[in-house]
Amino acid sequence: MKQILEIKDVSRRFGGLQAVNKCRFSVRAGSITGLVGPNGAGKSTLFSLVSGFVRPDSGEVLFDGNHIEKLSAHEIARLGLRRTFQIPRELKQMTVLENLLLVPERQFGDQVRSVLLPGKRVHEEERINLQKAQGVLEMVGLGEKAQHPAALLSGGQKKLLELARCLMADPKLLLLDEPTAGVNPTLIRHLMSVLRRIHASGVTLLIIEHNMTVIMELCERVIVMDRGQVIAAGTPAEIQSNKEVLDAYLGGVSA
Amino acid sequence: MIDYLIAILIFAGIYGFVALGLNIQWGLTGLINLGQVAFFAVGAYTFALLSKAGVPFLLAVAVATTLSGVFGAAVAMFTPRLREDYLAIVTLGFSEFVRLVLLNEKWLAGGPDGVAGVPRPASFPGLGSETSFLIVTALALAFAFWFTRRIERYPIGRTLKAIREDEGVVTSVGKVALAYKTKAFLLGAALAGLGGAFFASYLSYISPDMFGPNVSIYVLAAVLIGAQGSSVATLLSTALVAALLEGTRLLKDYITFVDGVELAALRLMVLGLALIAIVMVRYRPGRP
Ligand SMILES: Nc1ncnc2c1ncn2[C@@H]1O[C@H](COP(=O)(O)OP(=O)(O)O)[C@@H](O)[C@H]1O
Ligand SMILES: [Mg+2]
């Protein structure tokens, strides 16, 4: 079984707080893996450590068999590892469409010299990217919002925009930080089917999620974190009956 | 009177280059630059020295523009991560540094005496020197405007705006925000240098006291009054600022109860009040 992501004893301290403490687990290529745990367990911080936004104090991270713990965030993104943010970071002053058009790499129009040359090449490139962006927006259910300023989206729609921005890059591994938080129940149903389709197209998903229905229905494996450490891992059913997990997490939230 | 109008237009055009440059940096990319006058000065002095040495007008303009851009890139590289707080200090400090070097290093460009006898380009046949210069300035400004407008509308402008809003997002999509910021800063500095070349050529005499912090403040005001990001608005508001600053000189003939010094102070007061009014209208709390 090929592991697309291997996290080995990764630690990170913020002042006096050990946010992530010798965290260790792997994600199987082609899986949908859940990452759960009480608030403050260090899940989001772990995403930042893996995606290069925060540097680990120690430990190793392997993506597709290659060490990435020393790479910078843009390098990791270019390898095909993309993440969403728990609090959506939509570009408010841009339209939904422009938020996606930012994404394609190596755009000719992204170079200063393109400005001084005839516009044909840039327009052709934009046309192709536009088509792709429209397709991605349709897929996540934001097709009708393409021309809206991102600032006007609802909380749930902003979550979808974060997802769409990642999809625009054809990632290999997607780290989704609470994709259903703030999304209304009908939309969650839709989002789950979208995630299934993304998965079916060959993308591996690691999802931080509090909604147990989503975890149960989507994930083949669930990792449980508490106080910066992995305290359990297994199938959703195993996790639900695990005493330690119930104590740490489900006991409080009651799924 | 018509001569005076032409002079105002030329000054507005010259400040137009500088403001368009600042608009790429600050308006589009969010890079504050409190010392845009430094690059203006580099352009002016480079042009002055070169063209006095016999270098043809267009070549001297091109070298002045390029060298200002190089200085811009250097300042950008000396500013850690091009963070806003560092940038404010570094740019302000750099502009004073440039002015003091020009003032104290006599061997370089005449020290406090400045450089005199800077040539203008040849006049068009049948037109006066002033009118010819206005036409050349307008043509160059039209090119600069076309350039910055394309930057705004092209994918590169989208990336720069994204950096202004949230650099982390640009990083998360795999782009090197710092490289874009450096380029934006370089372009803005180069445009200021282009303006400087026209400034030196037009006045035929430049000295360090023309390159004080007030120049930076005028263009900051112009970009602030404009929509911060739009080249059109930037040019319009530059014209407005130029009219306010220069146009109030006209009042001298009509208002007899204030003398020259008081009028200079009055001019700044009018600009200040205009700024406050515009900021209050445009940046009301709750408006995006
Ligand atoms: N940049 C930071 N600086 C200081 N403390 C942080 C920072 N990021 C996260 N933390 C702290 O680390 C702990 C883990 O946070 P987080 O990873 O967001 O948890 P989770 O996503 O599991 O709810 C929390 O106590 C949080 O306050
Ligand atoms: Mg979190």
- pLDDT, tens digit, 9 for 90 and up, residues B12-28: 999 999 999 999 999 89
Give the torsion sign (CA, B123, B128, B129, B130): negative
CA pair distance A18, A41, nearest whole angstrom: 10
Q: Whose CA is nearest to atom 27 of ligand 1?
A: A40
User: Cβ(A55)–Cβ(A49) under 8 Å?
Assistant: yes
* B103 vs A8, residue with greater confidence: A8
Encoded amino acid at B94, one letter: F
Inform me whether the C-beta atom of residue A139 falls under 8 Å from chain B C-beta atoms: no
Residues with Cβ < 8 Å from B98, sequence gap 6 or more?
B35, B37, B38, B41, B42, B211
Region at B255 (left for phi over 0; alpha for psi -120 to 50; beta for the rest): beta
pLDDT band with cut points at 50, 70 and 90 for residue A22: very high
**pLDDT > 70 fraction of chain A, expressed in percent and rounded:** 97
Q: Whose CA is nearest to atom 7 of ligand 1?
A: A14
> How many residues comprise chain B?
288
pLDDT in tens, B202-231: 999 999 988 988 888 888 888 887 766 688
Residues with Cβ < 8 Å from A74, sequence gap 6 or more?
A52, B171, B174, B175, B176, B177
Å between B171 CA and nearest CA of chain A? 5
Ligand nearest to the CA of A225: 1
Sheet holding A58-63, edge to edge: A17-28, A3-14, A58-63, A66-67
Task: Determine the angle formed by the axes of helices B260-282 and B213-225, rounding to 10 degrees.
Answer: 40
Three-state secondary structure call for residue A19: strand
Residues with Cβ < 8 Å from A231, sequence gap 6 or more?
A37, A224, A225, A244, A245, A248
pLDDT of residue B227: 65
Q: What are phi and psi of B63, to 5 degrees?
A: -65, -40
pLDDT in tens, A60-94: 999 999 999 999 999 999 999 999 999 999 999 99
Encoded amino acid at A252, one letter: G
Inform me whether the C-beta atom of residue A51 falls under 8 Å from chain B C-beta atoms: yes
Encoded amino acid at B52, one letter: K
CA pair distance B179, A80, nearest whole angstrom: 21
Start-end of H helices in B79-128:
84-104, 106-109
Inform me whether the C-beta atom of residue B286 falls under 8 Å from chain A C-beta atoms: no
Q: Which of A119-133, A147-161, A211-225, B254-268 has the lowest mean pLDDT?
A: B254-268
Contact B173 A77 (CB under 8 A): yes
pLDDT of residue B64: 96
CA of B233 to the centre of ligand 1 (A): 43
Å between A43 CA and nearest CA of chain B? 18
* Confidence check: pLDDT of A255 > 50: no
Q: What are phi and psi of A175, to 5 degrees?
A: -105, 115
Inform me whether the C-beta atom of residue B168 falls under 8 Å from chain A C-beta atoms: yes
Encoded amino acid at A99, one letter: N
Residues of A in Cβ contact (< 8 Å) with B183: 112
Residues of B in Cβ contact (< 8 Å) with A91: 161-162, 165-166, 169
- The mean pLDDT value for A232-251 works out to 79
For the entire predicted model, the pTM comes to 0.89
Rounded to 5 degrees, what angle do the CA atoms B30, B31, B37 make?
A: 130
pLDDT band with cut points at 50, 70 and 90 for residue B287: very low
* Confidence check: pLDDT of A225 > 90: yes
Residues of A in Cβ contact (< 8 Å) with B162: 91, 94, 102
